[in-house]
Amino acid sequence: MVVASGLLALVVGAAFAVLLSSVADLRGSERRARQSEQVLVVANRLERIVVDLESGQRGFLITHQEEVLQPWRDAQVAFPEQAATLERLVAGNPEQRARAQRIAQAGTSYIRDYSVPLVNAVRRDPAAARSVAATDEGRRRIDAIRAEFDRFVATERDLAAARQRRSEAADRRAIGAAAVGLAGSIFLIIVFAGYLTGAIVQPIRRAAAMAGRLADGDLGTRMPEHGVGEIGVLERSFNTMAGSLEESREELAASRARIVAAADQARRRIERDLHDGTQQRLVSLVLDLRAAEAAVPPEQSELRAQLARVADGLAGALDDLREITRGIHPAILSEGGLGPALKSLARRSVVPVELDVDVQTRLPEQVEVAAYYVVSEALANAAKHARASVAHVDIQADDGMLHLSVRDDGVGGAAPGRGSGLIGLTDRVEALGGTISVTSPTGGGTALLVDLPIKGP
What pTM did the predictor assign?
0.43
Distance CA 391, CA 346 (A): 10
CA dihedral 222, 224, 230, 233 (to 10 degrees): 50
Distance CA 166, CA 163 (A): 5
SS3 content of the chain, % helix, strand, coil (to 5): 75, 10, 15
Report helix, strand or coil for 394.
Answer: strand
Whether residue 198 contacts residue 227, with contact meaning beta carbons closer than 8 Å, is answered with no
Please choose, from the candidates 259, 201, 249, the residue with its C-alpha nearest in 3D space to the C-alpha of residue 427: 259
Amino acid residing at 187? F
Whether residue 11 contacts residue 182, with contact meaning beta carbons closer than 8 Å, is answered with no
As a residue count, the chain comes to 457
- What is the helix (H) or strand (E) element at residue 393, kind and residue range? strand 391-398
Q: What are the structural domain ranges in the chain? A: 2-190, 229-319, 338-453
Cross-strand bridge partners of residue 403: 396, 451
Whether residue 364 contacts residue 454, with contact meaning beta carbons closer than 8 Å, is answered with yes
∠ Cα 369 370 371 (to 5°): 95
How confident is the prediction along the chain (457 residues), in pLDDT tens digits per residue? 566 567 667 766 776 676 677 667 667 667 777 878 888 888 888 888 888 888 887 787 777 788 888 888 888 888 889 889 988 888 888 888 888 888 888 888 888 888 888 888 777 776 655 554 445 677 788 888 888 888 888 888 888 788 778 777 767 777 877 777 677 778 767 876 776 676 676 777 777 777 777 777 777 777 777 666 677 777 777 778 777 777 776 666 555 555 555 555 655 666 565 556 676 777 787 787 778 777 788 888 788 788 778 878 877 777 666 656 655 667 777 778 888 888 888 888 888 999 998 888 888 888 888 888 889 888 888 888 878 889 999 999 888 899 999 999 988 877 765 554 677 778 888 888 889 988 888 888 889 899 999 875 5
Distance CA 47, CA 150 (A): 10
Whether residue 433 contacts residue 405, with contact meaning beta carbons closer than 8 Å, is answered with no
Distance CA 50, CA 142 (A): 8
DSSP code string of 202-228:
HHHHHHHHHHHHHHTT-TT--------
In this structure, which topology does domain 338-453 adopt according to CATH? Heat Shock Protein 90 (3.30.565)
How many CA atoms within 13 Å lie on the side-chain side of 210? 23
Distance CA 451, CA 394 (A): 12
∠ Cα 98 26 82 (to 5°): 30
Distance CA 196, CA 203 (A): 10
Whether residue 388 contacts residue 426, with contact meaning beta carbons closer than 8 Å, is answered with no
